[in-house]
Structure 1
Amino acid sequence: MENFVVSARKYRPATFRSVVGQQHVTTTLQNAIVSQHLAQAFLFCGPRGVGKTTCARILAKTINCEFVEEHVRKGRPVSELLQTQPGIVPDALQKAADPDNTPFELEACGKCSSCRAFQENASFNVHELDAASNNSVEDIRSLVEQVRYAPQQGRFKVYIIDEVHMLSNAAFNAFLKTLEEPPSYAIFILATTERHKIIPTILSRCQIFDFNRIRVDDIRGHLRYVATQEQIQAEDDALHLLAQKADGGLRDALSMFDQMVTFSGHNLSYKDVIQNLHILDYEYYFRLIDALLTENLSGTLLLLEEVMQNGFDLHNFVVGAAEHLRGLLVCKDPVTVQLLEVSDNIRQKYVQQAQAAPLPFLLSALNLVSQCDREFKQAKNQRLHVELMLMKLAYLNSAVQFARDLSAAPAAAASTQRASSDNGEAKKKSSVTTSPVPASSPPAPTGSAEVPVTSAPGASGTVPLPATPAPTPVPAASSQPKSAPADPEPIVPIESGVEELHGTPSIEDEAATQVPPTPQLRDSVPHVEIGKPSVAGHEPGQLPVTAAPLPPPRPGMPTGKPIGLGSKLPGLGNLAAMKAQLEQQAAAGKAAVDTEPSGPVTGLPAINDEVLQRVWKELTEERKAISMMHYSLLNRPVQANENHLIMLRVDNPVQEDQFNEFRAEFLGELRRRTGYPRLNVQAEVVERIETGRKLYTSNDKLEYLMEKYPMLTAMKQKLGLDADF
């Protein structure tokens, strides 16, 4: 019985041309060989199964080929080699009419002794080392000892070190000097899947080639080639699914291909691949979207049950649903259909379903599925979590339509109102007469006006003007008659740019909004020179008080003597009476300022907190330009209660006095801008809570522990310990 060779080894590329999906690497290596700019060390990086070791072997085979040695390095023409050494010339050049002028890609001939020894794994010029099992310093030292010996046949000795990231740091350091300055005949090719684990000193000594993941179409084409060589009938959908499942690795794709051929024989079908690889079919997701578009919740839940009964993972189902929605979103535009990496038959199904699915549904559904994917691991009941997502998706179209109707309702109402107002204007315009107005007739107070226009002598006409409101009657010109309209409208004063034609009842308390009269102090002290009181009807020594008391003096300011006192002081009796009267006036003035307008405190309108915060912030910024002390005092969170009272919490009594200095001005501006006349602000000193002792140093901490645990003191004295900080 003949030994079976897996496809990954049987169809392993032997030339640069046969390497799949890495043209940027193979072209660079071929140009380096032709130009004789070959580096002494290469580093091949990339995922598994993309051709790193394969390209290393092809490079080692090509640089030791006798045809490359004779034609490239020695410069002998192909025609001369055909006469002297025809066995080393490639077949493509042997069949060419003019071999010297025929362009060709540089490849190993595969006929010379070096190439045959390489193909039979008997070449002494190629050494492969597995760094995963030979990662010590001793292994690298033995490798360095081998480098000292020149090749017996050929020009180069090639050392291929696979999985080089597994070497220890000591092994890397032992390898540095040889890698930087190797002999002229030694070339090192390092291959790894984890470039970040290699130390920078190694990276700086190598030419680095990054291998890409192989495209799905390239893998599918190679699988088709292998199937043709093996005489296997395979469906395109099956090969495409294998290429997708390989995730960019050709070796993985060939391994799965061998497995599928073993399962299904020489007829490889799409259903066999799905059944054997245990893959969620596209058909599940097409059925899912059809049920969601028709709001068939029962069918959706039954489909989820079928998926679970077939043994599929719920998380994979959610991830696949997100990929399917992404595919539908891509297929909405013909330009982006090419981004969908599926077979042609599946692509046609995607395009058909994308036409039936609205774009808002796809975007919202993709958002819900992505959220379910993120929260799946944290869910306790994962099946219920997925079912809730499907329930939301089932009625997503209805929710989107409801949101549209809700947003369209105000627009429709506005258009209807606009149409009715237009009709009313049209009626008003149509009721206006279009006959010429005589020059002697008075102008209309409101509505449309007509201006007489004379185009020629003896011809006159009128041009109607649009209706404009006339809040006040315009005085007639001197050329017009003096007569006025029968019932002229009274002139209403306009304040702040707003005209008020009718009286508006006020909901505010008039008594509360009255401004207290300005307190005045009249001089009633008798003058020494005259000997009579300055106010008639009062005897000397009496001080009459007028309408209101004086305002309270500012904190820290001396009261001084009253206005109007003479230069000479009165007697002691009059002075004592004056002092008592001034104290009474000061107390009355303080009460007048601090006492807010009386009135009912119930039934007040609710304060719009947004307006209050905005106005407070504006006033605070304005105070910043006056005094930073005022700004720091007001720049703190405030809130009004149901009685329109704001408690401003300050840190100390000094701040309270500072606020009281400008409280009246600030409160008036706050009321005016917010529109709440009963608004009030009171300063309140926040009581500080005394905290415990602060432990800053190590000595403080030790003393605190010794006070709390007296046993520490006894132990310190008994053992003779001392703190060392």
Structure 2
Amino acid sequence: MDATPYIVSARKYRPKDFEAVVGQSHVTETLEHEVASGHLAQALLFTGPRGVGKTTCARILARRINEVHTGPDQDYSLNIFELDAASNNSVDDIRQLIDQVRFAPQVGRFKVYIIDEVHMLSQAAFNAFLKTLEEPPAHAIFILATTEKHKVLPTILSRCQIFDFKRIGLQDIAHHLRFVADKEGIQAEEEALHAIAEKADGALRDSLSIFDRVTAFAQGGVMTYEMVRENLQLLDHSVYFLSVQHMLAGDSTALMLQINDVSDQGFDLHRYIGGLASHVRDVLLAKHDATVALMDVPDTLKAQYREQAAATSPGFLAQALKALSQCDLSYRASSNPRLLVEIALLEVAGYGQGEELAEKKKPSSAEVSPADSPKSPSDSTSNQFTPSDSNSEGQEPVKEVDIDPLVEVSVSPKPPSLVDEPADSESVPNASPPASGTLKEQGERHVTPASLAEAFDAPEDAAEVKMPGEALPVTDAASIQALPADPAPAAEVPPKVTSDGSRRPRSSFSLKAQLRPASAISSGDEVSEEPVETEVKRLTPFSQNSLETAWLDTVKIMEDRPVIHSVIAKTIPILEDDFRVRISVENRVQADYLEGVRDELVGALRSMLDNDAVRLLAVVEEGASNAKIVYTPEERFQFLLEKNPHLAEFRREFKLDLE
């Protein structure tokens, strides 16, 4: 057995100059230039995560200062003092340090004081250190190191030159581990070193400690990835690739079995969720060449990531990242973490299944442009409007017009004189021919109305849905509008039949009322429009008290909008016939505000009252119904006095004062 005592790699390979420091070039180069130029601050603060080289750089800087200003052959060990603030954090320790600072160095020009873990000093110790740190002697330089800068007093921070140390990258740690392995004569796989670097989480000291542990486990053999994964309890990348495949396919059964398998192997599901989120992020980065460099994975796996990225969409990956991140945040607070993980993965699997179904529904290349494909005789006849065989004599037949399948026919309503015709009448107005050429020749051309007013003056009750059993009359070439390549089929809506048996076309939205000037509405007018007739499903009766309760709940919904809330909070709804709700407002401005949230108010009332026939009418009333609001005691007394004159005599009799 070798008599040389064993030294851990973190101490054995600790850098002795700035060139050997790993991953902190932005700090080491700055310090080297300051030392060379002599422009060195008298108080420096090194801050950053653990194991990134703060104390190492402080010792190197202390030695470099004495080498430059004292000489390399001089003994300057007495000029460097190191204090551990974690165990020497009292006021007495700082006072003892201040007493030592007063004496000049025996050799050289500077004394360097390194205070490690400075955030552990007490409040009194910080206060005692303030004056010396602000105005130190010319021969004293303080180097403070901490992992928690936010715990250091701002007055201390303002007196120091701050250097932020960053986490060391995976590639830098892996390269340094390869250097140590070559020095020690240890054979190690690249994936094994990369796994150790990933486990270290940016701390070089932690990676060297893990390296020593795995080296002892290997017993002088080759350090393989499987060996590192087994020793460090790491999940294989194949597990994450398989999880994403199951989520893309929407295979919830396979996901549940995989979660059970991961749990049975003793792995922490929290670590599994975090690893899966990192994996999904890497898949997203692999979709573009510009972001591949941001991936912290071995080069041997990048091709596999690219292959999986090609099979996924950015939308699915974004939804998966959102669900997995939320699960990671809620894991610690959950009473049933496994159920939380299963719900998150099933939710992501639902996104994947939705994308798979959408992919299957996409039209083939042959279906994208049917207009360009040759038509058979049967196809041409199917795209023509033919008159009904049941047309009675004396009725003019409808012209057959060749319609392109990508063109929508907008149906114009019957004139008012024809609305009251019997339902069994099949008379159809003649189709006016196109202005030039046939409709087939016009293709997908969109014909604009002659003027904006002409478009707005269309009949308010325009029928936009084909009635069962009726042929579609083509009124004008302006009625033909282009449709998308794959229009969704419109659901047939049964016609409304009036009391005399005639068909009544369904009402549609009209812009006429929107163009009505505000001046046309006077006090006492109803400002609401006739709502679009909809199919009524729920007709649960309700009382005035139920209406007022539902109105109060509706007012609470609008609390986040102060203006609307102030308008509706002081109104009382009145129940009228046919489930009509009338509310009174003071002026046209309030009516306009109500008009903007009409749909939300009606929807909320219908939901709370379980009645789809509820309608809301806002009425402007400038009368007694909107009495003046009283505030002061005198105003309240005068308001009551108008209603009961005997109050004045009652007040004089008992000599009452207003409060």
Specify the TM-score bucket, using the shorter chain as the normaliser. Answer: 0.5 to 0.7
Classify the secondary structure of the residue corresponding to 1:341.
Answer: coil
Q: Which of 12, 31, 47 in structure 2 is aligned with 1:29?
A: 31
Mapped contact 2:582–2:617 kept (Cα < 8 A) = no
Partners of 1:151 and 1:624 in 2: CA distance: 96
CA 1:447–1:647 in 2, change beyond 3 Å: closer, same or farther?
A: closer
1:47-446 aligned within 5 A: 47-65=49-67, 68-69=68-69, 112-114=73-75, 123-266=77-220, 267-377=222-332, 379-394=334-349, 396-403=351-358, 424=384
Partners of 2:618 and 2:187 in 1: CA distance: 90
1:440-455 aligned within 5 A: 447=433
Classify the secondary structure of the residue corresponding to 2:209.
Answer: helix
Partners of 1:277 and 1:686 in 2: CA distance: 78
Q: Which amino acid aligns with 1:43?
A: L
Mapped contact 1:50–1:251 kept (Cα < 8 A) = yes
CA 1:287–1:173 in 2, change beyond 3 Å: closer, same or farther?
A: same
Mapped contact 1:623–1:630 kept (Cα < 8 A) = no
Q: CA deviation at 1:679?
A: 10
Deviations 1:180-207 (A, max 9, x none): 2222211111111111222222222221
Q: Which amino acid aligns with 1:13?
A: P
Q: CA deviation at 1:402?
A: 3.4
Deviations 1:269-299 (A, max 9, x none): 1111111111122121122233444554443
Q: CA deviation at 1:160?
A: 0.5
The alignment covers a number of residue pairs equal to 463
Q: Which amino acid aligns with 1:314?
A: L
Partners of 2:617 and 2:194 in 1: CA distance: 77
Partners of 1:420 and 1:370 in 2: CA distance: 56
Partners of 1:239 and 1:315 in 2: CA distance: 24
Deviations 1:543-585 (A, max 9, x none): xxxxxxxxxxxxxxxxxxxxxxxxxxxxxxxxxxxxxxxxxxx
Partners of 1:249 and 1:282 in 2: CA distance: 22
Mapped contact 1:645–1:680 kept (Cα < 8 A) = no
Deviations 1:302-356 (A, max 9, x none): 2222100111122221222221111111111222111111111122221222233
Mapped contact 1:624–1:630 kept (Cα < 8 A) = no
Q: CA deviation at 1:231?
A: 0.8
Classify the secondary structure of the residue corresponding to 1:183.
Answer: coil
State the partner residue of 1:506.
none
Mapped contact 2:575–2:582 kept (Cα < 8 A) = no
CA 1:297–1:2 in 2, change beyond 3 Å: closer, same or farther?
A: same
Deviations 1:173-229 (A, max 9, x none): 221222222222111111111112222222222211111111111111111111111
The alignment-based identity, stated in percent, is 45
Q: CA deviation at 1:241?
A: 1.1
Work out which of the two has the higher radius of gyration on C-alpha atoms and give 1 or 2: 1
Q: TM-score, normalised by structure 2?
A: 0.59
Classify the secondary structure of the residue corresponding to 1:128.
Answer: strand
CA RMSD of aligned residues (A): 5.0
Partners of 1:336 and 1:446 in 2: CA distance: 60
Deviations 1:456-483 (A, max 9, x none): xxxxxxxxx4369xxxxxxxxxxxxxxx
CA 1:647–1:415 in 2, change beyond 3 Å: closer, same or farther?
A: farther
Q: Which amino acid aligns with 1:217?
A: Q
CA 1:214–1:374 in 2, change beyond 3 Å: closer, same or farther?
A: closer
State the partner residue of 2:447.
none
State the partner residue of 1:539.
none
Partners of 1:379 and 1:271 in 2: CA distance: 32
Deviations 1:133-190 (A, max 9, x none): 1112111111111111111122211110111111122222221222222222111111
Classify the secondary structure of the residue corresponding to 2:20.
Answer: coil
Q: Which amino acid aligns with 1:466?
A: G
Partners of 2:32 and 2:252 in 1: CA distance: 60
Mapped contact 1:644–1:680 kept (Cα < 8 A) = no
Deviations 1:608-665 (A, max 9, x none): 9x989x999999x9379978999999964798979456443459xx99xxx9xxxxxx
Mapped contact 2:104–2:111 kept (Cα < 8 A) = yes
Mapped contact 2:273–2:328 kept (Cα < 8 A) = yes
Mapped contact 1:147–1:186 kept (Cα < 8 A) = yes
Q: Which runs of 5+ in 2 are unaligned?
A: 372-378, 386-398, 404-430, 440-453, 464-497, 528-562, 592-612, 628-632, 634-659
Mapped contact 1:360–1:400 kept (Cα < 8 A) = no
Partners of 1:628 and 1:124 in 2: CA distance: 97
Partners of 2:616 and 2:284 in 1: CA distance: 57
State the partner residue of 1:622.
518
Q: CA deviation at 1:385?
A: 3.5
Mapped contact 1:646–1:682 kept (Cα < 8 A) = no
Partners of 2:26 and 2:145 in 1: CA distance: 17
CA 1:680–1:12 in 2, change beyond 3 Å: closer, same or farther?
A: closer
Classify the secondary structure of the residue corresponding to 1:124.
Answer: helix
State the partner residue of 2:5.
3
Q: TM-score, normalised by structure 1?
A: 0.54
CA 1:387–1:42 in 2, change beyond 3 Å: closer, same or farther?
A: closer
Mapped contact 1:646–1:681 kept (Cα < 8 A) = no
Partners of 1:52 and 1:277 in 2: CA distance: 27
Partners of 1:8 and 1:495 in 2: CA distance: 81
Q: Which amino acid aligns with 2:206?
A: D
State the partner residue of 2:582.
648
Classify the secondary structure of the residue corresponding to 1:288.
Answer: helix
Q: Which runs of 5+ in 1 are unaligned?
A: 71-87, 89-108, 118-122, 431-444, 450-464, 469-493, 504-598, 660-675, 689-693, 695-725
Partners of 1:49 and 1:307 in 2: CA distance: 31
Classify the secondary structure of the residue corresponding to 2:55.
Answer: helix
Classify the secondary structure of the residue corresponding to 1:190.
Answer: strand
Partners of 2:187 and 2:167 in 1: CA distance: 27
Partners of 2:580 and 2:513 in 1: CA distance: 11
